[in-house]
Amino acid sequence: MRLARVAGALLLAVLLLGLPGTALASLSWSSPVVLASGGALNGVACPSVSQCTAVGDGQEVTFDPSSSATLATFPIGSDDYAVACPSVTQCTAVGQEGLEEVTFDPLSPGSQTPVMIPGGADTPESIACPVVTQCTVSTDDIAVTFNPQSPTMQTDGGGDERYPYAVACPSTSQCTIVGEGGPSALETGVEATFEPTATAEPTAHTLDAVNGFNSVACPSVSQCTAVDNDGSAVTFDPAELGATGEPTAVDAGNRADAVACPATDSCVAVDASGRAIEFDPNVSGSTVEPIAGAGALHSVACPSTTECVAVDDSGNAFVGTSVSPPVGSVGGEGSGGSPQPVTPITTSTSSPTPSIGDLHVGKTFVSATMQCPGSGSCQFVLALHVTEAFKGGKLFAVSAKAKPKITKRTISVGRTTITLDPGQSEAATVDLNGTGQRLLKSRHRLPVKLTAISGTSLLSSQTVTFKAHK
């Protein structure tokens, strides 16, 4: 980590002006656009309203959100967590196997080889590239800034007592990271603002005394909004020494995994229950909308106030376009609306079948509503498992799906069984077992495959992601 502030008041006076905000209009979301069938998409970036790039499941896919047409796709070689596109001709993605990056032309990617970034070997969580020659990536305990056109040139800081999960850089001289923890706090939301090319460690400030942050967006150098594990948002001025802010519930009780703010009065967050949350970060109130067909949503990008794109853990993209007046009040679902039902993967039949819905991902558990039709009792099994990958006998990756490595082993990290009478509906919860909790503690971020079975029928199979809380 590095120096926390842009010191020149005159420079800040120019930068703080920003562009006048245009309130986000209420969005109507498309049906699923399949980009990576069966694989999770972890990140998306949209350098223009007609071009977005999503990464995950070992590949990148560039597409036109206005037409759902795929423009280019190519394998990257690792499950990339995040992507940033400072221009329509350049994107940089960061992957999970050590601190590696790949920079490419999203419309003509060609053959690319991931490059290790000197200065860190931890799992990358987020990347921001304000210009084509500068990117900053946050990892489990450091932030690294490098030139993606010459990745051996970089600056980095040492680790500390925090987990920086996300980074936003509204200018080349200012970045803000957010995450969890601190020297004396086990689970708090912290931010640190710094000059990315400096090397001194920045000062972290606690903005949320209860929950850690998962994502941050900075539409200007004078305003950032972070979202936390319990569906609250904190808006603050990162240029202030000792930044302060007050958590405001926008998706109460649900983990908000990503946020994008295309203007200073317009933000869209997405959560682990497949929902989009629209709000003005300067006032109270939000509109929460389940996105039909969405699983756990991992990332969102808004190239304008009238268009946003979200991606989920099943390889789908969803395009939101404006249809009505600006947001400003709590919608029909409310900030605590019911979770988005899980889309079954089994084919329908003429007779009622057991089903699963209302998926909710907690800190160390997953819950879902099991429904038994009126034709006999039903037994449901909810199971969690991960795949450990070994190279030369050494563990080097844990993921939700097996990959063609030298050695791999699937292990159970949670299981529960529930029996329901005909016509009964009941919530079932499966907790991470001791093995799962140890993996989560050591790796800080744990993608897990969740399967739901009734009898011999597979009702659902999808990836959910847990994040550690120090």
Residue 234 has pLDDT above 70, yes or no: yes
Six token digits for residue 6: 């842009």
Is the dihedral angle over the CA atoms 230, 236, 239, 243 positive or is it negative? Answer: negative
> CATH 2.130.10.10 residue ranges in the chain?
9-14+22-326
Neighbours of 205 (CB within 10 A): 20
pLDDT (0 to 100) of residue 32: 93
Query: For residue 375, what are the β-bridge partners?
Result: none
Secondary structure (3-state) at 139: strand
Phi, psi for 436 (deg, rounded to 5): -65, -40
- 60 touches 41 (CB < 8 A): no
> CATH 2.60.40 residue ranges in the chain?
355-467
Query: For residue 145, what are the β-bridge partners?
Result: 136, 155
**For the domain 9-14+22-326, what is the CATH superfamily, name and number?**
YVTN repeat-like/Quinoprotein amine dehydrogenase (2.130.10.10)
Residue 113 has pLDDT above 90, yes or no: no
pLDDT (0 to 100) of residue 118: 62
What is the C-alpha separation between 258 and 35, in angstroms, rounded? 19
What is the C-alpha separation between 159 and 20, in angstroms, rounded? 37
pLDDT in tens, 307-324: 999 999 889 999 999 854
pLDDT (0 to 100) of residue 121: 47
Neighbours of 4 (CB within 10 A): 24
Domain 355-467 has CATH 1.10.3470: no
Q: Where residue 77 falls among pLDDT bands split at 50, 70, 90?
A: low
Q: Where residue 399 falls among pLDDT bands split at 50, 70, 90?
A: low
Is the dihedral angle over the CA atoms 210, 213, 219, 224 positive or is it negative? Answer: positive
Phi, psi for 264 (deg, rounded to 5): -70, -15
- Segment among 9-23, 205-219, 220-234, 291-305 with least mean pLDDT: 9-23
Strand ranges, E, within 162-274? 163-171, 174-180, 189-194, 205-208, 213-220, 223-228, 232-236, 248-249, 256-263, 266-271
For 69, counting Cβ atoms within 10 Å of its Cβ (0-12 exposed, 13-18 middle, 19+ buried), the class is exposed
Per-residue burial over 94-128, b = 16 or more CB atoms within 10 Å of its CB, e = otherwise: bbbbbbbbbbbebeebeebebbebebbebbbbbbb
Phi, psi for 301 (deg, rounded to 5): -135, 140
- 451 touches 458 (CB < 8 A): yes
pLDDT (0 to 100) of residue 347: 31
pLDDT in tens, 124-160: 778 999 999 999 988 766 788 889 988 654 555 444 4
- Segment among 195-209, 307-321, 330-344 with least mean pLDDT: 330-344
* Average pLDDT over the chain, rounded to an integer: 77
- 342 touches 360 (CB < 8 A): no
How many residues comprise the chain? 470
Six token digits for residue 118: 């000197």
Q: How many Cα neighbours within 13 Å face the side chain of 10?
A: 0
pLDDT in tens, 6-25: 333 333 333 333 344 445 55
Which residues does 296 contact at the CB level (< 8 Å), separation at least 6?
A: 257, 272, 273, 274, 312, 313, 359, 361, 462, 463, 464, 465
What is the C-alpha separation between 470 and 308, in angstroms, rounded? 32
pLDDT in tens, 91-107: 999 876 556 788 999 98
Closest CA to 467 of 193, 123, 157: 123
Residue 400 has pLDDT above 60, yes or no: no
